[in-house]
Chains A and B, each alone.
Chain A
Amino acid sequence: MIFQGKQKIWSDYQKDIPDDHYFYVRSCIRQNFFPASEQTFLDIVHNRLGKDFYETPHHTTCGGIAYHGEAIPQETVMTIIARQFALMTESGYENYVCSCITSFGLYTETMDDWRNFPELEAKIREDLWKACRREFKVPKYLAHASDVIYKFRNEIAERAKFRLVNKETGEPLRVVEHIGCHYSKMFPSKGIGGAEYPYVLAGMIESWGGEVIDYPERRHCCGFGFRQYLVKANRGYSISNTYKKFESMEPYKPDMIITNCPGCPFFMDRWQYVIAEQTGKTYGENGYGIPVFTYEEVAGLVLGYNPWDLGLQIHQVAVEPLLDKIGIPYDKADKYKGKNGKLLRVPEYPMNIKCC
């Protein structure tokens, strides 16, 4: 590996990210998969970084899952997006930030289509007006929320209470970064680092003390792939993809995985349990899995948030061995307690993958 070669590519694919004043839209599925991630993001940007992020309860899904699942046509998804843009316009913002990679890809695609086919934009404007009497401005700037954390990664590092370092050995943790397919594979220039060697997560890992692992199936899909999972008969493809990735990364002995997409952490986390049940194989140390995190969770960990406030108890793969490795304190007794301090139900333990 020639590191300077990657640096050259990274320098070619940088993008300007505004300093402040963003209109934020959540993901429709992340709040079910990893419910604390978006809340953590907002807490970091509001209370740690002092940035103006506005969100409205009136926004909806972007329609991406239905679009990529071939349930709705492009004009419909564009009209949904136009409505989101109308909410931004009505709120007085120009910088649009989305939490979801699928949404980011769709917004990028839609804005590109409108640039190339203005008559399509005119039609969507008309459709939106007919549907809900709204008008919109196209965002001046579009970013994915991971772009924002990337931009402020060094500020986060300055405020960090923990680093991605093994407290016993002082060695950097070995981190796999997994980028959502729709981040930059369709429009390489819209992603930090481009499509082949994205830097958005690698930059965070470097700033926070970890070591990035490049492995042969790095670019491969996590396994979600929309119809691979959404069509029940195809789920064998989904788990096969995930299995291929874990087999490929296994020789590098990663300590953790960091992702920036709603589906990726879910599938890479949950399928480890299924692979263990089906084959008896686990990929982490001592019979555990490899913990998979969202970038907000990792930012929260290095900033010293309580792991259970970050929702890490929702993960299938146990995170405690990694917390111990870094030296992040946690109270075992609190793991399954709700915000009100009452014990929630404790999940059953799986057969083959070790859990705490």
Chain B
Amino acid sequence: MKENVVIIGGGPSGIEAARRIRNFGYTPILIEKELRLGGHLAQWDRLFPEGVYAKEVLQTLLSDMDGIKWFTDVQILTINRLKDTYVIKLTNGISVQSKAVLITTGFQLFQAEKKEEYGYGIYNHVITNADLERYFQNRKDSRIDDPKVIGFVHCVGSRDEKAGNRQCSKVCCATAVKQACEIKQLYPDATVYCFYMDLRMFGRRYEDMYLEAQQKYGIRFIRGRVSEVSENHEGRLVVKAEDTLFGRPLRLSMDLLVLMSGIVSSHQSQELAKMIKLPVGEDGFFLPQNTILEPCKSQKQGIFFAGACTGPKTIPESLSEARAAAVAINDYFNTMTE
């Protein structure tokens, strides 16, 4: 009989891990809390740096799901370990058993309304990076009305001790540059500003994307944080910021402000951490056994990690880690049978 492997979280890491685990000859059981598989990828339009459509990536991942069982709209009620087996009770009344559990619970975006000074949910033309991706997908959002001046605020709720998140969200800089170029494609006459602390263009071709944003699209990069946002009597946004390179304060009227909500640990990760007593870091993300040598192994036997549940990652990084986790799980079963 094939061994079960329970995978908690049906985002790209969970799907890719399920496929690889199946290829090793096990039966993956994928558990997803949302109504459909795909995680944040399903809600994103295009991916940096080349602008590949997220939908195509997800379709490719989902095109080969033979031999994989999955439940959607389901949450974990309890996880108990009996000898070397985990018994997992689900909210749909089903219990599943597995000697190996892979956690791929990903991340959630920082709630932008917590940065009250930026006025998300207060002022009509303040949106988030996720809202903008939805707009790119369906072109429907009453808050976006032929904007002439657009701003992007980097690091909203990340690298921000006041917000309780010291960590860098890693992918927001590249996402902001990508989105700035995309909105410029839609509104070529618009003036687009990016307010940044540092531009962390760490990946291959990211620097090219940044240069293209300046040279081809004329995006104006301002090193400094936005201090407050308000609305004038015409309903336009009034954005106060500081240009730290020029050493002077700025006040700009804008038609749209996009907040780059940072990546924080998901609620599901936090619940699981309490349920299984898994250690998490100060940033709320799971702590692997060894961040360099064993990033996919937890500190508990039979529990593995992949993707952004151990910290912010790009899609390719999450997929690579999912494959590595499949190998680690296969090794784990092989060790058990020796």
Taking beta carbons and an 8 Å cutoff, which residues of A are in contact with B? 1-2, 5-6, 8-9, 194-197, 214-219, 251-252
B120, closest chain A residue (CB):
A5
- The answer to the question of B2 belonging to the interface, with a C-beta cut-off of 8 Å to chain A, is no
- The answer to the question of B233 belonging to the interface, with a C-beta cut-off of 8 Å to chain A, is yes
**With a CB–CB cut-off of 8 A, which chain A residues contact B124?**
1-2
- Nearest CB of A to B158, in Å: 20
> In the complex the two chains form, what is the Cα distance from A270 to B122 in whole Å?
33
Residues 117 to 158 of chain B near chain A (Cβ within 8 Å): 117, 119, 121-124
- The answer to the question of B315 belonging to the interface, with a C-beta cut-off of 8 Å to chain A, is no
Residues 221 to 236 of chain B near chain A (Cβ within 8 Å): 228, 230-233
Partner of B123, one of A1, A215, A217: A1
- Nearest CB of B to A192, in Å: 14
Which 7 residue pairs of A and B lie closest in terms of their CB atoms, listed nearest first? A5-B121, A196-B116, A216-B238, A5-B122, A251-B233, A216-B230, A216-B232
- Nearest CB of B to A335, in Å: 35
Q: Other than A8-B121, A216-B232, A219-B230, give 9 A-B pairs with Cβ distance below 8 A.
A: A2-B122, A5-B113, A5-B119, A8-B113, A9-B113, A196-B119, A218-B230, A219-B228, A251-B232
Q: Are B121 and A195 in contact (CB under 8 A)?
A: no
Question: Given A1-B123, A2-B121, do A215 and B230 touch, yes or no (CB 8 Å)?
Answer: yes
Q: Are B231 and A216 in contact (CB under 8 A)?
A: yes
**With a CB–CB cut-off of 8 A, which chain B residues contact A9?**
113, 116, 122
> In the complex the two chains form, what is the Cα distance from A215 to B230 in whole Å?
7
Taking beta carbons and an 8 Å cutoff, which residues of B are in contact with A? 113, 116-117, 119, 121-124, 228, 230-233, 238
Q: Are A195 and B116 in contact (CB under 8 A)?
A: yes
**With a CB–CB cut-off of 8 A, which chain B residues contact A216?**
230-232, 238
Can you name 24 A-B residue pairings with CB atoms under 8 Å?
A1-B123, A1-B124, A1-B231, A2-B121, A5-B113, A5-B119, A5-B121, A5-B122, A8-B113, A8-B121, A9-B113, A194-B116, A195-B116, A196-B117, A196-B119, A197-B122, A214-B230, A215-B230, A215-B232, A215-B233, A216-B230, A216-B231, A216-B232, A216-B238
Q: Are B123 and A2 in contact (CB under 8 A)?
A: yes
- Nearest CB of B to A174, in Å: 11
- Nearest CB of B to A279, in Å: 21
**With a CB–CB cut-off of 8 A, which chain A residues contact B116?**
9, 194-197
Most chain B C-beta atoms within 10 Å of own C-beta, residue among A8, A215, A216: A216
**With a CB–CB cut-off of 8 A, which chain B residues contact A214?**
230-231
Most chain B C-beta atoms within 10 Å of own C-beta, residue among A6, A9, A196: A196
> In the complex the two chains form, what is the Cα distance from A195 to B228 in whole Å?
12
- Nearest CB of B to A19, in Å: 30
Report whether over half of chain A's contact residues are helix, strand or loop; otherwise say mixed: loop
**With a CB–CB cut-off of 8 A, which chain A residues contact B117?**
196
**With a CB–CB cut-off of 8 A, which chain B residues contact A218?**
230
A196, closest chain B residue (CB):
B116
Partner of B122, one of A1, A215, A217, A219: A1
- Nearest CB of A to B285, in Å: 26
> In the complex the two chains form, what is the Cα distance from A196 to B121 in whole Å?
13
> In the complex the two chains form, what is the Cα distance from A196 to B119 in whole Å?
9
> In the complex the two chains form, what is the Cα distance from A218 to B233 in whole Å?
12
> In the complex the two chains form, what is the Cα distance from A8 to B122 in whole Å?
10
A188, closest chain B residue (CB):
B116
- Nearest CB of B to A69, in Å: 24
**With a CB–CB cut-off of 8 A, which chain B residues contact A197?**
116, 122
**With a CB–CB cut-off of 8 A, which chain A residues contact B232?**
215-216, 251
> In the complex the two chains form, what is the Cα distance from A1 to B231 in whole Å?
8
> In the complex the two chains form, what is the Cα distance from A216 to B117 in whole Å?
12
B115, closest chain A residue (CB):
A196
> In the complex the two chains form, what is the Cα distance from A218 to B232 in whole Å?
11
> In the complex the two chains form, what is the Cα distance from A6 to B120 in whole Å?
10
Q: Are B122 and A6 in contact (CB under 8 A)?
A: yes
Q: Are A252 and B233 in contact (CB under 8 A)?
A: yes
B123, closest chain A residue (CB):
A1
A12, closest chain B residue (CB):
B116
A13, closest chain B residue (CB):
B116
**With a CB–CB cut-off of 8 A, which chain B residues contact A217?**
230
> In the complex the two chains form, what is the Cα distance from A267 to B228 in whole Å?
23
> In the complex the two chains form, what is the Cα distance from A178 to B138 in whole Å?
42
> In the complex the two chains form, what is the Cα distance from A216 to B230 in whole Å?
5
> In the complex the two chains form, what is the Cα distance from A6 to B231 in whole Å?
13
**With a CB–CB cut-off of 8 A, which chain A residues contact B113?**
5, 8-9
Most chain B C-beta atoms within 10 Å of own C-beta, residue among A2, A215, A252: A2
> In the complex the two chains form, what is the Cα distance from A1 to B117 in whole Å?
14
> In the complex the two chains form, what is the Cα distance from A194 to B116 in whole Å?
9
> In the complex the two chains form, what is the Cα distance from A218 to B122 in whole Å?
14
B143, closest chain A residue (CB):
A2
**With a CB–CB cut-off of 8 A, which chain B residues contact A8?**
113, 121
> In the complex the two chains form, what is the Cα distance from A197 to B231 in whole Å?
13
> In the complex the two chains form, what is the Cα distance from A196 to B123 in whole Å?
13
A252, closest chain B residue (CB):
B233
> In the complex the two chains form, what is the Cα distance from A251 to B233 in whole Å?
7
**With a CB–CB cut-off of 8 A, which chain B residues contact A219?**
228, 230
**With a CB–CB cut-off of 8 A, which chain A residues contact B230?**
214-219
> In the complex the two chains form, what is the Cα distance from A45 to B124 in whole Å?
40
